[in-house]
Structure 1
């Protein structure tokens, strides 16, 4: 969690992931596809019996699109383009399948209906055969989250523009140029220290801090200012709040009018603040919150602060509103 990039990464994550993407045709959603939309439903509800077993029940294998069309002992599972004639849809709509209490949601059933109505499309050429048991296909391996992390090429425009101070400026300037705009002139030092201080700590600079920065003519004056603010305990308090918002942190249970107090929730809050202030690596920060208790060796008595923090980090897991109360 490199401090210098934490604010930038947070803003980029919010901008990139924070809103819906408009379809080209707002009146018609794209047809579901087998690998992306349908097979995950089958994997969650069906293929343990109808595909992964050495002998699929009723001879029905739902792991590939062509096998769904082929069907089993009762005939084709679906009729492409004809959802009302598709046996599989009749079974899941009636609640007959899957057996037990775990049923498909209305949204999932609607997804299957749209897929069949669109002709049951599939994105890629399917393999000739599948091994018995749980199978990882090429489509699974191609999922975006499993791809190697690469550094994308930088935009080549405006390399020599004097306004470019860092790589991000190249992307910003490209958008501004397209609108016949350019960067605003550099801020004066009084404005700059106020902006930086509010950004990194949420607090205004003291008058003496402004005066010192304005009159500091050393070439690294700005860098020294940034380092001082990043070293402030208020940095973690300011930027830790963004993570606490994402995690759903609250000091009470929620869900009921009584709203019982979570007496120890503050320990997780302080853990987050400490993590930001210590510049903890982001992968470690995530692992501790999901499985910190598994990262500590027994015995658990007299734990050093670093190991105790790993236990406290798992306070992330029960942060959702809990109407049963009393979680502490």
Structure 2
């Protein structure tokens, strides 16, 4: 009799879990954005939210939680229930920040569940008015002759780590100058307070297109298909840089595997919608559209890469 009851209980749990997936979401969904309103990640989140609201038939509220290199908003996600009603849209800063923030109030591998990569693009090296170079080859020569200041979006940001990675692999002298976010870094670059800024296409291409800064190169082995006239670091013999920028969807840790699969499928469908694809195209960005396992592997591999760079370059949170 005990075995019969145990089997019945197990079947009831399975049936309940299946019903939960069918009913998802059961109410309004909060989409945390760990950056200030108006930036490229915020715009991406709001565009994606519009598509998902229509699909889910539930309100999707974008809530900005900026600060600490995106870790304040990420910590809020880690504290949420793993029921899919709270999600997070973050950049590759999710992988860079833990390399130097060793006292986080959560474990980024255990307390957060990667869902899918939403969008991806290479990192673009852009130069301000004081930089004479017009391409990556000339930039390397100029930077080696006259050390430059590299703007970053803050200590531990992806722009900070990519600047350090380029300096290491290309053997460039120079210093990093930290600003309060990507918007501020772009503004300071245009104002002549830094020479170089490295960020994703969505962050820098609006300023390139209106002539305020110039695209000198993309980091990677080959040229980016959406910017075919911009040289790559690889074609200029700068090796060991095989990493792209991305924006991804995350959920709290401990989430049921079937619910992860459900949200992954829904978000990937939203990514492929006409309206969202148009936004990506306008920002020279490609759709991500990965499985949860694929995205998890990318995230964890990058965490290892950036931790190693932090150690070799002596990067700290100070």
| Interval of TM-score (by shorter of Structure 1 and Structure 2) | under 0.3
Higher normalized contact order (CA 8 Å, seq sep 6+, divided by chain length): 2
| TM-score relative to the length of structure 1 | 0.19
More strand by share: 2
| TM-score relative to the length of structure 2 | 0.20
